[in-house]
Amino acid sequence: MAGLTRADVEHVAFLARLRLTADELDRLEGQLNHILDQYAKLSELDTSAIPPTAQTIELENILRADVAGPSLSVEDVLRNAVSTEGDFIVVPPILGGDDA
């Protein structure tokens, strides 16, 4: 399997929304490639006819009645937010400057 380049590591860090220092990027490049080498072992197995397992217990379609039950108060929900206004959490603007 092709290894990760430094540029790949930087790209994945951006996708994962992680700001990393140059040192961290250096270290991760080596470590991630070392770990990816271990993954290569799986190519020894022919799995073309094997179905994937996403969960291990045979439960399906667990449903409940569509009725409202007790839930947290607005006050409890907002207590951990960094910034609030009235009954709302203040979020950073995600649309361009003119719309913000």
Partner 1 sequence: MIGNGDATRLLGHELASRLRTGELSSRDITLAHLEAAERQNHALNAWLVIERDKALAAADAADARLAAARMEGSEATAGLHPLLGLPVAVKDLVSVAGGQCTAGSRILEGYVAPYDAHVTGRLRDAGAVILGKTNMDEFAMGSSNEYSAFGPVSNPWDLDTVPGGSSGGSAAAVAAFHSPFGIGTDTGGSIRQPAALSGIVGLKPTYGRVSRHGIVAFASSLDQIGPLARDARDAAALLHAVAGRDERDSTSAPIPVPDDLLRLPTSDDEAAGWLKGKRLGLPAEYFVKGMEPGVEARIREAVDALEAAGATIQEVSLPHTDYGLATYYIVVPAEASANLARYDGVRYGKSIRLPGADFIADYLATRGDGFGPEVKRRIMLGTYALSAGYYDAFYLKAQKVRTLIKRDFDEVFGSGIDALVAPTSPSVAFKFGARTADPVAMYLSDACTLPANMAGIAGVSLPCGLSDGLPVGLQFIGPPWSELELLRFGRAYEAITDDADWRKLEPAQLALADDPSGPTPAERAAALAAAA
Q: Does 5 bind partner 1 (CB under 8 A)?
A: no
Q: Does 67 bind partner 1 (CB under 8 A)?
A: no
Q: Are 16 and 24 in contact (CB under 8 A)?
A: no
Q: Does 41 bind partner 1 (CB under 8 A)?
A: yes
Measured from the CB of residue 33, what is the shortest distance to partner 1 in angstroms?
11
Measured from the CB of residue 1, what is the shortest distance to partner 1 in angstroms?
7
3-state SS assignment for residue 3: coil
Measured from the CB of residue 68, what is the shortest distance to partner 1 in angstroms?
14
